[in-house]
Chains A and B, each alone.
Chain A
Amino acid sequence: MSDTHSESVGFVRKTFIEPAPPPAREAGAVKWLRENLFSGVVNSALTILSIIFIVWIAVSVYPWFANAAYGTSSLAECREVLEGVNAACFSVLQERGNQMLFGIAYPSEQYWRPLLAFVLLFVCAVPVLFSQYVPRQTLIGTALYPFFAYWLIWGGTLWLSIAILGLLIAAYFVPKVIAGLPDGARSGLGLVVGGATGLLLAYWLAVGGLNLWGLASGFAEGGGTGGMIGAVLFYAMAAFVAVTFIPMGIFTAYAVWQSAERGLLLSTVTTIAFLFVALNFVAGPLAGVLNGIVPIELEAVASRDLGGFMLNMILGTVCVSLSIPLGILLALGRQSSLPFIKGVCVVFIEFIRGVPLITLLFVANVVLAYFFPPESNIDLVLRVIIMITMFAAAYIAEVIRGGLAALPRGQYEAADSLGLDYGQATRLIILPQALKISIPGIVNVAVGLFKDTTLVSVISMFDLVGAIRGPILGSADWAGIYWEAFGFAALLFFVVCYGISQYSQWLERELATDHR
């Protein structure tokens, strides 16, 4: 064949032609435009519409920003300065920005404290957020952070935080001390602690039984169908308690005493007792004494003086961090094979998830106080923290349940076959994997919860939105302003929430250990 060619063709090319550049409409910006913006009639129409939309937004918004007024002390002055031009009045941020960030009542000369706490939050969050890149020892700093931040924000004496921290550390060593005791001493301790626990429990049950009995008679007197149901229910509970309170006491005493050999139950009970006594009766006086020797004090700030974006941050971080352990317990409870515990967890989770947060906040605001002992008076901020934590825990429990369900059954079986008990299997095998799967979901819940902290404005707390709606828009100077103030609020939330969700996506990629 080649011979024929070489004879019949006058010219044979010996070298390759240099590749020619693609035609102009198939390269560079033109190609990109053609493929991405004008690939068809519909697409072109969409593109043109979008461009018109963007230009329209830009043209209508730009002058509002560009002509903005600064440095006036009221909206009326702003209007004078602007002379009828429709533009922003950012003076409100200059005048009241601090109130939006820190609330209206936080003493202004103390602003450095929440600011420092805020900065430290990031520093101390690094070991948790980027645990792969930071030595584990730095987690100690994170663990210390809550105590320090509490002192910074609420003030008072640092020694209280230190005392509580110290006692908590001491409590950690209680089980070790018990384990180290000689057998005889441990058995004696078991007898004492067991006896006390049994007595206490029996006493509580007796008092509770009497309460129930009283409630039942109250219902019975009230009459009516509801009264009858209530009476039967509470009489039944009272009867149950009446039958069980002595055996329960004896059994508890026996169980604690028996466990002295292995030490688990005994040390748990002792640790709880230690913590109760330490926190109630030791921490306060100890802090007082220490502060008397070396005073380290900051001006105390009442909880209700907290406000602004700071309050949203506090509620968000505190409630999320408290709700994760609670959520894990609830999720484990819901997956448990013990029907009663499972039932309680299911009812709790489904109830909380079925009602809006706002009704729970109403509960915190107007109902919860009725359920505490008459002489106690729990701070509104604390009541709100309790309710938001419960709310978040229910959602986090569902996320973690998803993670638990996603684990292959083999993992559970492998743990069992290694002879691990429930606690060990959960702690060492199940949870680490389940939590890893759940992280994106938990972050989603956290972001949602952080946004939902604005709802506290509905129950007259001056968080960021509450401060704007209440004192700022209600004041003589700034009544009638809203874009600037709410826009600022929206921007703050956007920055934080967008940041968290970006982090979450990064973490998801980092944690992806499956092979692709």
Chain B
Amino acid sequence: MSTISEERLDSGHGGAPSGFKLGMLLNDTRYRSYTFQFIALVLLILSISYLVSNLIANLEEAGLNISWAFLAEPAGYDINQRPIEYDSQSTHARASIVGAINTLIVAFLACVTATILGVVAGVLRLSNNWIVARLMSVYVEAFRNVPVLIWILIIFLAMSNAFPQPRAFRGEAPDAEMWLGLFAFTNRGVYAPSFINGAGSTIFWIVCVLSIVGVFAYRRYAKKLLYDTGRLLPMGWPSLAILIVPPVLAFFLLGSPVSLETPELRGFNFQGGVHLRLSLIALWFALAIYTGAFIAENVRAGIMAISKGQTEAAGALGLRPGRIMNLVILPQALRVIIPPLISQYLNITKNSSLAIAVGYMDITGTLGGITLNQTGRAIEAILLLMLFYLLVSLAISAIMNVYNNSVKLKER
């Protein structure tokens, strides 16, 4: 394969030499690569022309056309999970955006959960504890080897049959009760309390964010101090104090600006609070558990790639097993784990399109589902759909590659 490239480099010093013959285009390695590429270009143009002219002939025959005007028309249907304002009079474009945000929501939730599950399962699978290691193997093998669509459907149907209806919470002696009086687990999803922001709530939230930032700043400072001067600052209680004290103070000083709204059974359903719909939960859990099994394998492979000597050396330094894992093994294993982890995140995002099986209104359900059905604009809708996923995939790859580069082994 390098024959061609090197020969081409040779020819780079001038134009066509004298004595050029037509046959050289084919037999002379200096020109042959250009010939091949030129032919490939022509064939590509030919196939594009072929496909597009077929498309136009077909559309003409069916009396259709390509038009994006439908995006500006009222959608006419309702969406249950609306992260931004939307009603049935909003446009198809807005419905698509609602769907896109819903896709990102479930993908984000599933990515976080799958990572936690995967790391825990991957580490436990290597545990000395025979029974735990076996259990984790069973988990990994059972979920890896069954299609995710089946898991989504099973979780969805099982939850809709296993959890009580909202009606069961009603009456003097209800069949079901709210957990802690705050959470209601029903077969329509989970109802959780939400915050009501009163006067001064903005300041309170800013204080909360600042104290979280403060914790990181403190830990960074402590670490720097440790590395520079060898002085060890306590980590645990100051972090906790920075995290808790300012918000609590702010809360009381501002006169309880934020209160909890607990869901309450009114009419047919619980009202108030946050409603995590069954479709979201089923999709989220199924994706997380399924992908978690793959991530567990990646984590295991990453840990196994670290030589045993590292563990032994760390042990010889007197570190406890938990610290060996946290301080020595995982940081090194991360370099091996992250590239496959990126592709698992991409998989989650792409698999979230299976939302259509449980009626979660992601972009496949709005733009690629009801909008497509109602307007009949199949080509346009699917083109936009693919474009969206392509952009999200590229964005995730880009972000994770930046991170990957930052943890890459810095060799001298």
Which residues of A are at the interface with B, using a C-beta cutoff of 8 A? 35-37, 39, 43, 46-47, 50-51, 53-54, 204-205, 208-209, 211-212, 214-215, 218, 237, 240-241, 244, 248, 251, 254-255, 258-259, 265, 332, 335-341, 344, 350-351, 353-359, 362-363, 366-367, 369-374, 412-413, 416, 421-422, 425-426, 430, 447, 451-452, 454-455, 457-458, 465, 469, 482-483, 486-487, 489-490, 493-494, 497-498, 501
Contacts and interface: CB of A to CB of B under 8 A. Distances in A.
B332 interface: no
Contact of B354 (A344, A366, A455): A455
Contacts of A340: 37, 40-41
A214 B57 CA distance: 11
A212 B393 CA distance: 32
B51 interface: yes
Contact of B145 (A35, A244, A483, A501): A501
Nearest to B357: A458
Contact of A359 (B59, B154, B368): B368
A314 to B, nearest CB: 16
Nearest to B66: A222
B148 interface: yes
A50 B48 contact: no
Given A46-B132, A366-B378, A374-B61, A215 B52 contact: yes
A499 B3 CA distance: 43
A27 B394 CA distance: 57
Contacts of B142: 494
Contacts of A370: 54-55, 58-59, 379
A430 B1 contact: yes
Interface in B35-69: 36-37, 40-42, 44-46, 48-59, 61
B128 A490 contact: no
Given A39-B128, A341-B40, A344-B40, A425 B150 contact: no
A454 B147 CA distance: 7
Given A36-B130, A51-B131, A241-B49, 6 more contacts: A332-B1, A338-B37, A355-B386, A374-B54, A421-B3, A455-B354
Given A337-B4, A340-B41, A498-B141, A369 B58 contact: yes
A312 B389 CA distance: 26
A36 B394 contact: no
A47 B131 contact: yes
B5 to A, nearest CB: 4
B315 to A, nearest CB: 14
B1 A425 contact: yes
B135 to A, nearest CB: 6
Nearest to B57: A374
Contacts of A482: 153-154, 157-158, 161
Interface in B257-273: none
B1 A359 contact: no
A39 B132 CA distance: 13
29 contacts: A36-B130, A39-B128, A43-B129, A46-B127, A208-B46, A209-B49, A211-B49, A212-B49, A237-B48, A241-B42, A255-B25, A337-B2, A344-B44, A353-B346, A354-B389, A355-B393, A358-B354, A359-B382, A362-B368, A366-B372, A373-B57, A416-B3, A422-B1, A425-B1, A425-B3, A454-B149, A454-B150, A465-B147, A486-B157
Contacts of B390: 351, 354-355
A114 to B, nearest CB: 20
Among B3, B142, B147, B150, the most chain A Cβ lie within 10 Å of the Cβ of B147
Contacts of B394: 350, 354
Interface string B132-168: 1001000001101111111101100110010000000
A258 B23 contact: yes
Nearest to A365: B378
Nearest to A256: B26
B286 to A, nearest CB: 12
Contacts of B58: 369-372, 374
B382 A211 contact: no
A35 B350 CA distance: 43
Contacts of A338: 4, 33, 36-37, 40
Given A483-B158, A493-B147, A356 B353 contact: yes
A430 B33 CA distance: 20
B36 A341 contact: yes
A337 B45 contact: no
B325 to A, nearest CB: 12
Nearest to B62: A370
A464 B28 CA distance: 55
Contacts of A208: 45-46, 49-50
A215 B53 contact: yes
A497 B145 contact: yes
Contact of A255 (B26, B356, B379): B26
Contact of A357 (B23, B56, B144, B350): B350
Contacts of A469: 153
B173 interface: no
Contacts of B128: 35-36, 39, 43
Given A251-B25, A339-B37, A371 B4 contact: no
A277 to B, nearest CB: 21
Nearest to B136: A50
Nearest to A419: B3
